């Protein structure tokens, strides 16, 4: 087997490498990936810098051209989906300001409505010089399909606002997250954000964690260490920890970071002190992140099936919010 030729060996880029040259085949194999990116300096040699793509030019597979977001008419949504949309719209309208240039996008089924609203007036007017940072594959696709500028947290370690879903939120805005196995990146983006805002439907609005989310606390672990962490969780009193298994895939769920997830149910006394529980689980060697977000959210927006949205703040304030501003577009089922 020949190793892949260096960029210079690509016959499309280097006229000297003819069809008979040893580099031709390997060069042709590379052509697809390089031709789009490479440009040439005046000497005719590829400019090495041109292989570094600007983040906004990154595209996933067939979605090379942004497809835009199809907005489902509001009346066609189920009451739960309407509630998610209203919560997302309200949070965007209240927290994303024109001066915000770096926005973190969470994961789950509520977050697409966040992106939908960000693509509508007046928010879309600020999008050309804004960067969007995903918390995983799903949100990356959302950003790319919407034609928004895609960045990453290593380029933007400080984020203006991150908006994300949650599996359950308690009275003090502590949250369980990781139902979609994205908790590691989600927590990095929540922590990097000046404002971290949760959006959810009313089923997530709870008093004590574990009351409505019965699946347990999602814990991301290094694959080789999963069994050791599993036993340590049992020793802590975790009830029936479960290695999360894939659907339509033999074996465990593998996160966007290549790790496994253990879901651990803990007693109510543990769940009433999520800061202590988080600390204890995180101290287990092999644990990479815990889906307990303690004291991180500034506000949470809960959509109710009757069309109202409740905003809860970390200081205990509760407020009904008008979430209907963006619905004019949503009601028409437009594409943005
Ligand atoms: O933490 C998450 C993914 O890891 C999600 O934000 C959480 O599961 C909520 O998802 P949804 O909006 O679908 O209820």
Residues of the domain holding 309: 74-209+294-332
pLDDT bin (cut points 50, 70, 90) of residue 268 is very high
CA distance 96 to 92: 5
d(CA 77, CA 65) in angstroms, rounded, equals 27
164 lines ligand 1 (CB under 6 A): yes
Please count the structural domains in the chain.
3
User: Nearest-CA neighbor of 152 among 119, 116, 194, 103?
Assistant: 103
The tens digit of pLDDT for each residue in 104-160 reads 999 999 999 999 999 999 999 999 999 999 999 999 999 999 999 999 999 999 999
Q: Are residues 41 and 80 in the same domain?
A: no
Specify whether 108 is located in the same domain as 143: yes
Radius of gyration for the alpha carbons in the chain, expressed in angstroms and rounded: 23
pLDDT tens figures, 167-199: 999 999 999 999 999 999 999 999 999 999 999
Whether 136 and 173 share a structural domain: yes
Q: Is the CB of 182 under 6 A from ligand 1?
A: yes
CA-nearest residue, atom 7 of ligand 1: 166
Q: How crowded is residue 252: how many other Cβ atoms within 10 Å of its Cβ?
A: 17
Instruction: For ligand 1, say whether the CB of 110 is within 6 Å of any of its atoms.
Output: yes
Pocket perturbation via mutation, ligand 1, pick of 78, 88, 108, 135 by most ligand atoms within 8 A of CB: 108
Higher-pLDDT residue of 5, 242 = 242
How many C-beta atoms surround the C-beta of residue 49 within 10 A?
8
Using the atom order of ligand 1, give the atom closest to the CA of residue 165. Answer: 6
Same domain, 89 and 177: yes
- Give the Å distance between the CA of 198 and the centre of ligand 1: 10
State the DSSP code for 129.
G
Whether 56 has a pLDDT exceeding 70, the answer reads no
Cross-strand pairs, 195: 161
Q: Which residue owns the Cα nearest ligand 1 atom 3?
A: 180
Atom of ligand 1 lying closest to residue 164 CA = 6
The fraction of the chain above a pLDDT of 70, given in percent, is: 77
Average pLDDT over residues 231-254: 96
The number of residues in the chain equals: 336
- Verify that 167 and 253 share a domain, yes or no: no
The angle, 0 to 180 degrees and rounded to 10, between the axes of the packed helices 274-282 and 226-236 is: 140
If asked whether residues 171 and 317 sit together in one domain, one would say yes
Whether 242 and 202 map to the same domain: the answer is: no
Q: How much is the average pLDDT of 21-40? A: 34
* β pairing state of 287-290 and 217-221: antiparallel
Beta bridge partners of 217: 264
- The Å distance, Cα 164 to ligand 1 centre, comes to 8
Q: Are residues 98 and 112 in the same domain?
A: yes
Residue 331 catalytic?
no
Co-location of 12 and 32 in the same domain: yes
Contact 280, 236 (CB under 8 A): yes
Q: What is the ipTM of this complex?
A: 0.99
User: Is the CB of residue 303 less than 8 Å from the CB of residue 45?
Assistant: no
In a domain, 63, yes or no: no
Examine the domain organization and report whether 151 and 197 are in the same domain.
yes
Residue 185 lies in a domain: yes
- What is the pLDDT, as a whole number, of residue 65? 55
Q: Cβ(104) to ligand 1 under 6 A? A: no
192 shares its domain with 130: yes
Q: How far is the CA of 104 from the centre of ligand 1 (A)?
A: 14
Which of 290, 298, 315 is closest to 161 using CA atoms? 298
**Sign of the torsion formed by the C-alpha atoms of 55, 57, 63 and 68:** positive
Element of type H or E holding 164: strand 159-164
**Which comes out higher in pLDDT, residue 69 or 130?**
130
Distance 191 CA to ligand 1 centre (A): 17
Marked catalytic residue, from 94, 172, 186, 220: 186
- Mapped onto helix, strand or coil, the DSSP state of residue 234 is helix
Q: What is the mean pLDDT of residues 246-262?
A: 97
Determine the Cα–Cα distance for residues 119 and 281; give it in Å rounded to an integer: 39
Rounded distance from Cα 324 to ligand 1 centre (Å): 23
Residue 180 inside a domain? The answer is yes
Instruction: Lowest mean pLDDT of 50-54, 73-77, 326-330, name the range.
Output: 50-54
- In percent, the amount of the chain with pLDDT more than 90 equals 72
Least confident among 25-29, 72-76, 114-118, 145-149: 25-29
* Cβ(305)–Cβ(80) below 8 Å: yes
- Please indicate, yes or no, if residue 57 is contained in any of the structural domains: no
């Amino acid at each position: 087997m020949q190793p892949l030729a260096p960029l210079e060996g690509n016959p499309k880029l280097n006229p000297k490498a003819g069809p008979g040259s040893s580099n031709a085949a390997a060069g042709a194999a590379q052509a697809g990936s390089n031709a789009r990116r490479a440009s040439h300096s005046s000497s005719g040699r590829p400019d090495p810098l041109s292989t570094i793509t600007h983040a906004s030019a990154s595209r996933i597979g067939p979605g090379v051209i942004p497809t835009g977001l199809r907005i489902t008419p509001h009346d066609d949504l189920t009451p739960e989906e309407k509630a998610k949309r209203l919560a997302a719209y309200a949070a965007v309208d209240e927290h994303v300001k024109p001066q915000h240039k770096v926005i973190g996008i969470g994961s789950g089924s509520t977050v697409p409505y966040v992106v939908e609203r960000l693509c509508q007036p007046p928010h879309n007017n600020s999008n050309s010089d804004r960067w969007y940072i995903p918390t995983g594959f799903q949100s990356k696709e959302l950003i790319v399909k919407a034609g928004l500028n895609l960045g990453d947290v290593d380029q933007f370690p400080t984020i203006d606002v991150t908006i994300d879903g949650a599996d359950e939120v308690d009275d003090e805005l502590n949250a369980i997250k990781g139902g979609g196995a994205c908790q590691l990146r989600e927590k990095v983006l929540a922590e990097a954000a000046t404002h971290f805002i949760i959006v959810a439907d009313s089923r997530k609005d709870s008093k004590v964690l574990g009351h409505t989310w019965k699946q347990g606390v999602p814990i991301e672990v290094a694959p080789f260490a999963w069994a050791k962490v599993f036993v340590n969780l049992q020793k802590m009193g975790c009830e029936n920890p479960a290695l999360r298994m894939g659907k339509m895939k033999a074996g465990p769920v593998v996160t966007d970071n290549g790790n496994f997830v253990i879901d651990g149910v803990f007693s109510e006394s543990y769940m009433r002190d999520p800061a202590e529980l988080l600390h204890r689980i995180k101290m287990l060697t092999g644990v990479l992140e815990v889906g307990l977000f303690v004291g991180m959210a500034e506000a949470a927006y809960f959509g109710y099936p009757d069309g109202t949205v409740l905003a809860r703040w970390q200081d205990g304030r509760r407020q009904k919010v008008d979430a209907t501003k963006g619905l004019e577009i949503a009601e028409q089922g437009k594409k943005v």
